[in-house]
Structures are given as C-alpha cells and as structure tokens.
Amino acid sequence: MLAQKSQPTRNWKPLIQEFVAIVGQKGVIQRREELLVYECDGLTSYRQRPALVVLPKTTEEIAEVIKICDKNSIPWVARGAGTGLSGGALPVEDCVLIVTALMRKILHIDLENQRVVVQPGVINNWVTQAVSGAGFYYAPDPSSQIICSIGGNVAENSGGVHCLKYGVTTNHILGLKIVTPDGSIVDIGGDIPEMPGYDLTGLFVGSEGTLGIATEITLRILKAPESICVLLADFTNLEAAGSAVSDIISSGMIPGGMEIMDNLSINAVEDVVKIGLYPRDAGSILLVELDGLQVEVDTNKQRVAEICKNNGARNITTASNPEDRLKIWKGRKAAFAAAGHVSPDYYVQDGVIPRTKMAYVLKEIEALSEKYGYPIANVFHAGDGNLHPLILYDNSVPGALETVEEIGGEILKICVEVGGSLSGEHGIGADKKCYMPQMFNEIDLETMQWVREVFNPKGLANPGKMLPTPRTCGESAKLQNIKQFEGAEVF
C-alpha cells in the first residue's frame, strides 16, 4: 500500500486579499459550502472542489487575477455557465476557478456590417433576441442555448442543430480580445471575415481554456431567411431515417438542420414535454428544417417529403409558422433533460461519423447496449453525423459509472475506426483526453503540446485537459490512485 505523503498547504489568506482588491469582497467565493456549487460542470460524474472562485467583470480584472496566479504558480480554470459536457471547466486540485458569469454585456451591435460584440458571459440565445427585431439572428444554437454562454461556446467550439448548413462556432467568430496565461491582453482576428497572417482566432476557438480566456467576442450574425419550414417524418426503425438523411444530402439539398431521435428518446420527451407530436410507436423520427427563399423552400419541402416516403416514412408533418416550428423543435431541445427524468443518471458521448456509416455504427451501439445491459438513447445531428448516445444508468449502483464510461469509450473507438472524430461540439476536456491517441499519433499530439506551451508555458491554464498527460489512460489511472493517497484538503 502506498504511504500517504503530506503536501505543503498554500497560504491563501494574503492571496485572497489580493483577489478581493481586484474584484471586491463579493467577487471572491471561499466558503466550503459555496464552493460545492462549482465542483463540476455538466459532466457531473467528475467532481473537484476549487480552492477559490473569482468572479471578474472586466477584461482588466481578469488580467490582474491571472497575473496573481502566474506570479504564485497557481493553476486556474475558466468557467462560463457550467453547461459543458466534457469536463472542460472541471476544477483541478488547489486551483482558482475564474468564472465569467458576471460579464454579461452586449457591448456593440453593428447591423450594417452584421456583427455583434459581447462579453463571454452573454447567454447564447440573448444574441438572437437582441437582433431579431431587425431581422437578424446568431446561427450556432446548442441545445442548451437558453443557458449556455458565448465564452463557453468559444472554448468548446460548440455546434447545434443548424451547424450542418451554417457551421459551428468558429465559423461565426470574427475577432477576440483574449487574456493570455501570463496576464497579457491581446486582440486577435478583427472586424472582417478574412485577416492576413496566422489564423490565431481559429486556433483559439476550441482550445478549451488552455490558451487563455476570451473577454470580448466579435460575432457574425446572419439575416433571417425569407421562409422556414420544418418537416417531421416518423419511421419504423433508425436505419430508414438514416437512409433518408443520406438521400437528402445526395440530392444536392443542404437543409438548415437534420435531427434524428430513436424510440427511447421519443418516449422520454413525450413523457416530460408532452408536445403530442412525436408518435410513441415510431422506431425513429427525422426532423428536417429548410430555409431560404419562399420558392426554394416550397420546392425542397416536396422533394424531402418524397425522399422520406421512398425510405419508408409512415407520416410526415410540416410546420411553417413560428409557433408550430417551435413546438416541433421543443422536444428535440429537451431531449437531454428528458433523459434525466427517465433515469437517475445518464452519460452522453459526442462522437462524429461519416453519414454513410450511420446504419453500421447505430447497430454497433445497439450491440453494446445489449452486451452491457444498459439502455442507450440515440439523439443526434444526423446531417453531419454528430452522435449523442445517452447511456442510462444509476450512479448509486457500485461499478455502474465505470461500466458506462467503458461503453462510452467503445463508442468513441468505433467512431474513429470508421473515419470519424472523438467530438463534434462538446470538446475533449477531462472526459475524452485519454482517447486522443486513438485519433492522433504521437507526433500530432506533440505538435499540439508545442502550441499549448507557446501560449501556456507554465501549464497553469486549465491543466490536465484536452491532451493526454501522461500519454496513456493506464498511466493516468495509476496517477489518480496515487493522488488519492497524496491529496490534502485546502481548508
């Protein structure tokens, strides 16, 4: 058995006073019971209490907070609304959690040039609300868009229902003001789509807090389309819905979004949201949103309906007015929450596969469900092959979490094997970093580490996330066991 090692306890009192001098007494959270709120993000199976939570309100305050951390070699983690599902905002031991929730100002709206400048704590849906009256909207729309923040979307390069046609967050970011891990304030990108030189904006978006914190974000907004129509088609099985998706794309149409839900998720949603539109006996449903000019939408609506019928669709419902469209989408947006009502716990993955491999991968997921004895609900962005299998389990059962994590790992391996990816929008975080060698070779990972070290040479910004450190899961597991013996409480 390993002997317990004592670690020197950091003297936090003078440091707390320094932070208070920057953000005020109310901007520093230090009581144990209050820190419990910040132990995890949306990936609740991993928990670690931070030493302190700091809530700045300006770029300058963040810079000063980070300078203190840099000077005292204190690891820090940035957190937005805490809705991330990969453990990207999971605190690390003895760290300062820098929370941007109070930075909620929309700083500038420029409709003429179709851009909006916001602070990182601005909620995703607020952007569209701010410009919709003038006929504009912000395209990236994660399912959590009513509560997730733009800063978190930038960190994870979030997607959403409409990423098939309009792209993920990185496609809608023009420029960023960032604070680097040494406390420097830097402007990258700009007010126009294409800037000369290295694409530092593209590098920063999706870096998961390992290269710094975005404090001002220039977003690209789009003009609302003339016409929008949503079709809901139900099928007897998932494979038929997947075939319809492939045929729609093969026809040359690019819908605004295409989503599939299986029978388990359909019934969970109807139990909770009670929209009365999703047939409970369907093996799957396919939601297709078409947008553009009126004549284009009318034509494509007929084409999509025909393709769905040719693939065995039983019924097709269409909705063109905003109220009916919202009702159809309401169930899909509530799918994750609905799973929480039918199971004590669930574990969600975020793999991406080629559309042509959809039927095969879904059968493999079904086989894993039968093999391990855990129900798996499938809800996913079908158009771009971004799967969201929800593995239902009870965390109070000993060993259940370890088993569902193993299932999740097997699903990710299958995604990579068929030419896909470990993540489409949730990020790698703490959850999937050990699977990075499944997708990248040693040279790839080393190159990524070099980039990280240029911005973050001391490794203080969100340490232990995204890249496997050490390189294998086995070594990580051993170190985790050692830490259980070495770890000491801060307070």
pLDDT for position 490? 34
pLDDT at 192 over 60: yes
pLDDT for position 8? 65
Long-range contact pairs involving 27-31 (C-beta distance under 8 Å, separation at least 24): 27/54, 27/55, 27/56, 27/57, 27/61, 27/102, 28/52, 28/53, 28/54, 28/55, 29/53, 29/54, 29/55, 30/491
Domain that holds residue 20: 12-99
162 and 204 co-located in one domain? yes
Domain end, chosen from 366, 395, 418, is at 418
- Give the pLDDT band of residue 130 (cuts 50, 70, 90): very high
Mean pLDDT of the chain: 92
Domain end, chosen from 400, 418, 436, is at 418
pLDDT for position 470? 55
pLDDT at 486 over 90: no
* Residue-wise pLDDT tens digits, 198-235: 999 999 999 999 999 999 999 999 999 999 999 999 99
73 and 158 co-located in one domain? no
pLDDT at 329 over 80: yes
51 and 196 co-located in one domain? no
Strand partners, 376: 391
Amino acid identity of residue 427, one-letter, is G
Mean pLDDT of 371-382: 95
pLDDT for position 473? 52
* Residue-wise pLDDT tens digits, 164-182: 999 999 999 999 999 999 9
pLDDT for position 143? 87
pLDDT for position 6? 46
Closest residue by Cα to residue 241 from 289, 305, 308, 302:
308
pTM: 0.91
- Rounded to the nearest 5°, which phi and psi values hold at 381? -80, 95
Angle, to 10 degrees, between the axis of helix 335-342 and the axis of helix 263-272? 90
58 and 152 co-located in one domain? no
- Residue 338, domain member (yes or no): yes
Euclidean distance between CA atoms 283 and 261, whole angstroms = 9
- Residue 466, domain member (yes or no): no
- Residue 480, domain member (yes or no): no
* Residue-wise pLDDT tens digits, 18-40: 999 999 999 999 999 999 999 99
131 and 145 co-located in one domain? yes
Cβ atoms of 461 and 212 closer than 8 Å: yes
pLDDT at 353 over 50: yes
- Residue 180, domain member (yes or no): yes
377 and 309 co-located in one domain? yes
157 and 19 co-located in one domain? no
- Residue 483, domain member (yes or no): no
Euclidean distance between CA atoms 49 and 96, whole angstroms = 10
- Give the pLDDT band of residue 489 (cuts 50, 70, 90): very low
236 and 356 co-located in one domain? yes
DSSP string, 350-394: --B--GGGHHHHHHHHHHHHHHHT--EEEEEETTTTB--EEEEE-
- Residue 143, domain member (yes or no): yes
Cβ atoms of 148 and 160 closer than 8 Å: no
* Residue-wise pLDDT tens digits, 302-327: 999 999 999 999 999 999 999 999 99
* Residue-wise pLDDT tens digits, 243-270: 999 999 999 999 999 999 999 999 999 9
- Of the given ranges (188-197, 364-373, 409-418, 464-473), which has the lowest mean pLDDT? 464-473
50 and 80 co-located in one domain? yes
pLDDT at 5 over 90: no
- Number of domains forming the structure of the chain: 3
246 and 386 co-located in one domain? yes
- Residue 7, domain member (yes or no): no
Cβ atoms of 380 and 258 closer than 8 Å: no
385 and 267 co-located in one domain? yes
117 and 167 co-located in one domain? yes
Mean pLDDT of 359-373: 95
- Residue 439, domain member (yes or no): no
* Residue-wise pLDDT tens digits, 73-123: 999 999 999 999 999 999 999 999 999 999 999 999 999 999 999 999 999
Domain end, chosen from 66, 84, 99, is at 99
